[in-house]
Amino acid sequence: MAAVQETVDRVRQIDVDQYRYGFETIIESEKAPKGLSEDTVRYISAKKNEPAWMLEWRLEAYRRWLTMEEPKWARVEYPKIDFQDIYYYSAPKPKKTIGSIDEIDPEILETYKKLGIPLREIEALEGVVRPEGERKIAVDAVFDSVSVATTFQKELKQAGVIFMPISEAIREHPELVKQYLGTVVPTSDNFYATLNSAVFSDGSFVYVPPGVRCPMELSTYFRINERNTGQFERTLIIADKGAYVSYLEGCTAPQRDENQLHAAVVELVTLDDAEIKYSTVQNWYPGNSEGKGGIYNFVTKRGDCRGDNSKISWTQVETGSAITWKYPSCILRGDNSRGEFYSIAISNGYQQVDSGTKMIHLGKNTTSRIISKGIAAGKSQNTYRGLVTAHRKATNARNFTACDSLLIGDQCGAHTVPYIEAKNASTLFEHEATTSKISEDVLFYCIQRGLSQEEAVGLVVNGFVKDVLQQLPMEFAVEAQKLISISLEGSVG
Amino acid sequence: MTALLEVKDLQVRVDDREILHGLTMTVNGGEVHAIMGPNGSGKSTLSHVIAGKPGYEVTGGEILFKGEDLLEMEPDERAAKGVFLAFQYPVEIPGVTTMNFLRTAVNAQRKARGEDEYLVPDFLRKVREVAASLNIPMDMLKRGVNVGFSGGEKKRNEVLQMALFQPSLCILDEMDSGLDIDALRVAADGVNALRSPDRAMVVITHYQRLLNYIVPDVVHVMSQGRVVKSGGKELALELEATGYAQYEEVAA
Ligand SMILES: Nc1ncnc2c1ncn2[C@@H]1O[C@H](COP(=O)(O)OP(=O)(O)OP(=O)(O)O)[C@@H](O)[C@H]1O
Ligand SMILES: [Mg+2]
């Protein structure tokens, strides 16, 4: 028991120093008045120079939201959120309109540099000698509520790919936005999604035209900086017929004593033969050793395989946030469409994770695959919640689910809550689940070979999550692997 | 000259039960010691305590390694200083390739000793060489550590690590169990190749046969938590003929 005990003891000592991204950037910002009202919604819409239809859309969502209640079914506990005590809009004070990257506040550029996010395309290319054939990554950086920079615009344009802040897309490509926004996650979908629909300030918009394979990885990097603000980003990605795009999302926030709300909505649409691969490395501030502070991450992510033979794949590495409430899902509408969900969710300290996916089989011969790896350490609670359903017409629907949980120490919890519904006889759903404790003997074996306790835990955990790590684009997998070790650092000192 | 390993009057408890009741043995550089003894006599316990496995309470006695107090050192520190234990039951580590494991371990030890990490090509060359000498196909090293390895393959993997780390104290806990005759010879050759004046081996085994290949300088008989008799290699032959009955009486 000794090594596990030690692990547990060290978990207790986990402190904010472990969180590397906890610094704050001092910049002037422009905020909406605190609290939420129709005026707030109008303020945000006006700030974004939105057309009237967009304002109407928001207001409708706002009115709807007033009638809704917070969901209670997740296995998470937190004090009641005062929605009037939040700033719904905060923007780095603009130095006029930003025309080129040089006009971005140097403090913000510095922030992204510290975070290791290359905003300058040139910088991204020089310095390191890149191996032959390594893909470039176009980055959209969202700072508090506003997109501050999108790189590689020109190259993407040549390929016909639209990758821009959604606020810009609303003005420049209203027909596309109107056609797709809210069609996967309707404004009335759930409490947080509805809230997001009313007050979202920015996020990314991607449209890949028919037959185009996006020439590089697209990436959005979200950073909450301002105190007391919520971040409500909205992402909409459309892969038209036969198109392919791989999209990466990363997030961090400064460490603060109070909790901050993050309620994003992500909508993905694939038309016939199209594919979207969406990867997230979520590392919002998780709170300190006493469970104080940290981000409430209440996110609605859903993909619609609208066309036949289309595919949507979610990969997530969740290490941050005080509370994670998140179920990236796939609606398998098109015949032969395929949905995938690969997840690594790590909780430590007092973190609470309730995450999973929904695979809704509507079309014929649709297939889905769920691989979930939950790792709980410290006093955290880690729940996998998943739904797999097959509609009456979804003949030959297939699902394979494997949920594995690993416990480190004996004060944490791992829970698996699968819901399975099959409304036709040709369905084949397979579900496997395991829960195990990190083995004392395995740790000792590693330590006898010279690894520290901490390295041993990192190695074993990275082995445990390997199937999922392999799904990440190379550039991200290495990052994620490091992040996994770092986020467990507190658990073994 | 200080002995490489000195175990003096070692008393060890597990869960309030005393398992080693005052065990003494001294191993000098260049020597090979064999420990034989009935099931449950405490052989693996001794090896675990030397390696620093948690869960054992040392209630008396001491262990010196090159004159230093071994019990004061963390287990990973002991490894870096050259204590190696080939486990009786090597564990599986799913998802971690053997190659990656070997490299991580070697570099962790080198780092702890203040040496530079192995360069990848140097490391690969070294692994290839050692693996070849032990008849271990490189493909096996791409698999998860011991995952799906046969009993014999697991044991060979232990010897591989030993050859790679070049420890100064090698404790081999029943490395012969599960090995077929050919594999036994190959593994024993691997061990013999490591014999050197500044290295010592403690070979735990139930079978005299292993000692035909790895010829010991000293044989200890362990019974009920003590060394009850020590002698030359002929003691092993004697045991083969007479069994442990007489020693159990001695210990009781
Ligand atoms: N963790 C433990 N808890 C309780 N008893 C233990 C524990 N570990 C060892 N023992 C007991 O200590 C005694 C010695 O065990 P040990 O494994 O050292 O024997 P051994 O000599 O290696 O036997 P074998 O030849 O079968 O491998 C046994 O009676 C065993 O049951
Ligand atoms: Mg034993």
* Least Cα separation, residue A355 to chain B (angstroms): 23
Is the CA virtual torsion B168, B174, B179, B184 positive or negative?
positive
Look at residue A98 in the predicted model and tell me its pLDDT.
44
Q: Which atom of ligand 1 is nearest to the CA of B48?
A: 18
Neighbours of A73 (CB within 10 A): 8
Across the interface, whether the CB atoms of B96 and A459 are under 8 A apart is answered yes
Q: Sort strands A162-165 and A204-208 into parallel, antiparallel or unpaired.
A: antiparallel
Region of residue B15 (phi > 0: left; psi between -120 and 50: alpha; otherwise: beta): left
* Pocket-testing residue among B10, B21, B44, B222, ligand 1, by greatest number of atoms within 8 A of Cβ: B44
Dihedral sign for Cα B78, B83, B89, B93, please. positive
Q: Which domains are seen in chain B, by residue range?
A: 3-251 (3.40.50.300)
C-alpha R_g of chain A: 22
Q: Is B90 in Cβ contact with A448 (below 8 Å)? A: no
Q: Which ligand is nearest to the CA of B43?
A: 1
Instruction: Taking residues A63-67, report their average pLDDT.
Output: 93
How much is the mean pLDDT over chain A? Answer: 82
| Token pair in block for residue A37 | 């009202």
Q: Which residues does chain A have within 8 Å of residue B95's beta carbon, measured at their own beta carbons?
A: 462-467
Per-residue pLDDT reduced to its tens digit, A302-352: 999 999 999 999 999 888 888 888 999 999 999 999 999 999 998 888 889
Cβ–Cβ below 8 Å for B91 and A467: no
Report the pLDDT averaged over residues A438-463: 92
Residue A10 confidence (pLDDT): 41
Question: A326 near A352, Cβ under 8 Å?
Answer: no
Cβ contacts of B104 on chain A, cutoff 8 Å: 451, 455, 459
**Do A460 and B75 lie within an 8 Å CB cutoff?**
no
Residue A128 has pLDDT above 50, yes or no: no
Q: How many CB atoms lie within 10 A of CB A157?
A: 12
- Mean pLDDT of all residues in A221-238: 76
Three-point CA angle A323, A328, A331, nearest 5°: 150
Task: Select the highest-mean-pLDDT range: A235-239, A413-417, A454-458.
Answer: A235-239
What is the average pLDDT across B55-84? 95
Residue A2 has pLDDT above 60, yes or no: no
Q: Give the residue, by CA position, lying nearest to ligand 1 atom 31.
A: B40
Contacts with B87 from chain A: Cβ below 8 Å: 445, 448
Model confidence at A85, in pLDDT bands (50, 70, 90)? Answer: confident
Phi-psi domain of A7 (left: phi exceeds 0; alpha: psi -120 through 50; beta: other) = alpha
Other beta carbons less than 10 A from residue B71's beta carbon: 16
Q: Which residues of A touch B96 (CB under 8 A)?
A: 459-460, 462-463, 466
Q: Min CA distance, B187 vs chain A (Å)?
A: 19
| CA distances for A82 relative to A36, A79, A158, angstroms | 10, 9, 46
Q: How do residues B188-211 score in pLDDT, each as one tens digit?
A: 988 999 999 999 999 999 988 899
Q: Look up residue A163 and give its amino acid.
A: F
Between residues A422 and A219, which one has the greater pLDDT?
A: A422
Pocket test for ligand 1, best of B21, B36, B43, B210 (most atoms within 8 A of CB): B43
Q: What percent of chain A has pLDDT over 90?
A: 44
Residue position matching structure tokens 């032990």: B134
Mean pLDDT of all residues in A270-284: 91
In Å, how far are A28, A462, B177, B245 from B221, measured between CA atoms? 78, 43, 18, 12
Q: What is the pLDDT of residue A131?
A: 39
Dump the DSSP string for A102-168: GGS-HHHHHHHHHTT---SHHHHHSSS-PPTTPPPEEEEEEETTEEEEE--HHHHHHHT-EEEEHHH
Predicted confidence band at A129 (pLDDT cuts at 50, 70, 90)? Answer: very low
Q: At what angle do helices A453-464 and A2-12 cross, to 10 degrees?
A: 90
The pLDDT value recorded for residue A446 is: 97
**Atom 5 (ligand 1): residue with closest C-alpha?**
B14
Cβ neighbours of B90 in A, within 8 Å: 445
pLDDT of residue A106: 63
Statement: residue A486 has pLDDT above 80: no
Which of B53, B91, B161 is facing A439, going by the closest CB pair? B91
Residue B177 C-alpha to ligand 2 middle, in angstroms? 11
Report which residue type is found at A212. V
Task: Pick the most confident of B25-39, B109-123, B172-186.
Answer: B25-39
* pLDDT score recorded for residue B165: 94
Q: What pLDDT was estimated at residue B18?
A: 94
- Looking at residue A124, its pLDDT comes to 41
Tell how far the Cα of B46 is from the centroid of ligand 1, in angstroms: 10
Choice between A212 and A9, residue whose per-residue pLDDT is larger: A212
The four Cα atoms A86, A91, A93, A99 give a dihedral, to 10 degrees, of -170
Each residue's pLDDT tens digit, B75-93: 999 999 999 999 999 999 9
Local confidence band at B225 (pLDDT 50, 70, 90 cut-offs): very high
- Which contacts of B192-197 are long-range, i.e. CB under 8 A and separated by 24 or more positions? B193/B133, B193/B163, B194/B162, B194/B163, B194/B166, B194/B170, B195/B30, B195/B32, B196/B30, B197/B29, B197/B30
Q: Do B55 and A441 touch (CB under 8 A)?
A: no
Both tokens assigned to B123: 């490391």
Over 90: is that where the pLDDT of B9 sits? yes
Q: If you average pLDDT over residues B29-42, what whole number do you get?
A: 94
Contacts (Cβ under 8 Å, ≥6 apart) of B181: none
DSSP A131-147: PTTPPPEEEEEEETTEE
The pLDDT value recorded for residue B121 is 87
Interface contact B105-A451, CB threshold 8 A: yes
Quote the mean pLDDT of chain B: 91
How does DSSP assign A46-114, residue by residue? HHTT--HHHHHHHHHHHHHHHT------SS---PPP-TTSSBS-EEEPPSSS--SGGGS-HHHHHHHHH
Q: How many angstroms separate the Cα of A135 from the Cα of each of A140, A184, A250, A297, A475? A: 16, 30, 18, 30, 9
Q: Residue A217 — pLDDT band, cuts 50, 70, 90? A: confident
How far is residue A107 CA from its own chain's centroid? 25
Does the interface ipTM go beyond 0.90? yes
Nearest residue to A249 via CA among A286, A217, A221: A221
Sign of CA dihedral A189, A192, A196, A199: positive
pLDDT level of residue A5 (50, 70, 90 thresholds): very low
Q: Within 10 Å of residue A170's Cβ, how many Cβ atoms?
A: 24
pLDDT of res. A203: 85
A20 Cβ contact list (under 8 Å, min separation 6)? A486
The string of pLDDT tens digits covering residues B139-184 is 899 999 999 998 888 989 999 999 999 999 999 999 988 888 888 8
Distance B43 CA to ligand 1 centre (A): 8
How many angstroms is it from B101 CA to the middle of ligand 1? 28
Tokens matching residue B145 = 């550590």
**A1 pLDDT exceeds 50?**
no
Main-chain dihedrals φ then ψ at residue B45, nearest 5 degrees = -60, -45
Average pLDDT of A468-483? 77
Any residues with CB less than 8 A from the CB of B195 and at least 6 apart, and which? B30, B32, B201
Percent residues over pLDDT 70 in chain B: 98
Strand positions, DSSP E, chain B: 5-14, 17-27, 32-36, 57-65, 68-69, 83-86, 93-97, 144-145, 169-173, 200-204, 218-223, 226-231
Please state, in angstroms and as integers, the Cα–Cα distance from residue A386 to each residue in A10, A341, A364, following that order: 32, 10, 21
> What pLDDT score does A148 carry?
58
Mean pLDDT (whole number) for A382-390: 94
Distance (Å) from the alpha carbon of B252 to chain A's nearest alpha carbon: 31
Say what the pLDDT of residue A118 is. 52
Q: Which helix (H) or strand (E) holds A434?
A: strand A428-437
Q: Which two tokens stand for residue A165?
A: 């802040």
Give the model's pLDDT for residue A20: 59
Distance CA(A322)–CA(A311), nearest Å, equals 32
Is the pLDDT score of A411 beyond 90? no
End-to-end alpha carbon distance in chain A: 17
Nearest chain B CA: its distance from A279 CA (Å): 21
* DSSP code, position A21: T
Which residues does A160 contact at the CB level (< 8 Å), separation at least 6?
A208, A209, A212
Chain A residue with minimal CA distance to B158?
Answer: A449
Beta strand B144-145 with B93-97 is antiparallel
CA pseudo-torsion sign A88, A93, A95, A100: negative
For ligand 1, atom 28, which residue shows the shortest CA distance?
B40
pTM for this structure? 0.82
* CA distances to A334, B19, B87 from B53, in Å: 56, 15, 12
- Report d(CA A13, CA A492) in Å as an integer: 9
Compute CA distances A229 → A79, A195, A299, whole Å. Answer: 17, 14, 16
Q: Are B104 and A451 in contact (CB under 8 A)?
A: yes
Ligand nearest to the CA of B88: 2
pLDDT for res B70: 95
Q: Give residue ranges with CB within 6 A of ligand 1.
A: B 14-15, 19, 37, 39-45, 55, 88
Q: Does A450 contact B96 at a Cβ distance shorter than 8 Å?
A: no
Q: What mean pLDDT is predicted for residues B43-71?
A: 95
Q: For residue B92, give the DSSP letter.
A: P
Beta bridge partners of A344: A317, A373
